[in-house]
Amino acid sequence: MADHAYIGELLAGMVYLIVGVRLFRLGQRTREVPERLLAAMFLLSGASYIVYSTVYLPGLESLWTPLSFAGRVIYIGPPILLAVFTRQVFRPEGPWAAWLVYGIAVLMIGGVGGSALAGDWEGFSVSNGWFWLEWVGFTVPFGWAGSEAFVQYRQARRRVRLGLCAPGVCNRYLLWALFGALQACLCLALLAQYSEYETTGQFTATWDTLIGGLEIASVAVISLVFFPPAFYQRWINDNAPVAKAEEG
């Protein structure tokens, strides 16, 4: 793996851990389930990314397979938790959403377990049918979360014009939608990278660069969601849409 992809993965892991700790503390105070779901999601994501990153440290090459598998096992949780969060926040009364969550859980657990039993411990073999269960299982939740957040963003934007929604809240919907889109694109890039890896036996710089860039972009978006700097908040408030006064 190229340096930029490694740096992107390691940076994402560290930021996700920080976000997870912050959300965990918030959940302890509010006792709200959504905060706890996201806290667990980011903590497990960060842990998985860190484990994946350690295989590239000098002297740990021999642990490639066990560490890669450990990273996969840890990452079973985040897509499921994201799906539960999306269902609870955006579709609490939709029975289809509950079934979608169950399906994602089955895909993740079955995909990782089945591919391991078939001998693909690292999860890089796209010719293994179990790979596709896992890939769909961790791709769909991000696409779902992003689309639901974008719908809410469009509705919130109209409410901002009427003074019924804070600009910062509206912007967080947009950022969450962007995070979901970036992660879904990352999943597609991983699919292309794994396909090439199975053929050539190496990770090429082209896909490594793209994946590293998507990771860094995702980290930047998440940082704006949970750690927005003061100048950014002022910019959002100053540029909020305002309802035009009626003529006549």
Query: What CA–CA distance (Å, rounded) separates 157 from 192?
Result: 36
pLDDT of 244 strictly over 80: no
The type of residue at 176 is: W
pLDDT of residue 92: 92
How far, rounded to the nearest angstrom, does the alpha carbon of residue 93 sit from its chain's CA centroid? Answer: 24
In terms of phi and psi (left: phi > 0; alpha: psi -120 to 50; beta: otherwise), the region of 31 is: left
Per-residue pLDDT tens digits for 187-228: 999 999 889 888 887 777 788 889 888 988 999 999 999 999
C-alpha distance from residue 48 to each of 140, 166, 171, 247 (Å): 19, 35, 28, 57
E strand or H helix that includes residue 110: helix 95-117
The two tokens of residue 130 are: 């179990």
| Structural domain boundaries in the chain | 3-230
Q: For the segment 54-63, what is each residue's pLDDT rounded down to a tens digit?
A: 877 777 777 8
**Residue environment code for 13-40, b if the CB has 16+ CB neighbours within 10 A, otherwise e:** bebbbbbbebbbebbeeeeeebbbbbbb
Of the pLDDT bands very low, low, confident and very high (cuts 50, 70, 90), residue 183 is very high
Diameter of the chain by CA atoms? 77
Residue 73 is encoded by which pair of tokens?
């096992």
From 70-84, 134-148, 153-167, 194-208, the region with the lowest mean pLDDT: 194-208
Among 28, 51, 18, 24, CA closest to 40 = 24
CATH of domain 3-230: 1.20.1070
Reported confidence tier of residue 1, pLDDT bands at 50, 70, 90: low
pLDDT of 69 strictly over 50: yes
Express as a percent the part of the chain with pLDDT over 70: 95
Q: What is the DSSP letter of 121?
A: S
Q: What is the enclosing helix (H) or strand (E) of 18?
A: helix 3-30
For residue 20 the two structure tokens come to 């997870």
> Residue 133 has what pLDDT?
96
Q: In sequence order, what are the residues at sequence separation of 6 or more whose Cβ sits closer than 8 angstroms to the Cβ of residue 28?
A: none
State mean pLDDT over 127-140. 95
The pLDDT assigned to 208 comes to 81
**DSSP secondary structure letters along 150-206:** HHHHHHHHHHHHTTSS-HHHHHHHHHHHHHHHHHHHHHHHHHHHHHHHHHHSS--HH
* Mean predicted confidence (pLDDT) in 163-188: 95
Going by pLDDT thresholds of 50, 70 and 90, the confidence category of residue 243 is: low
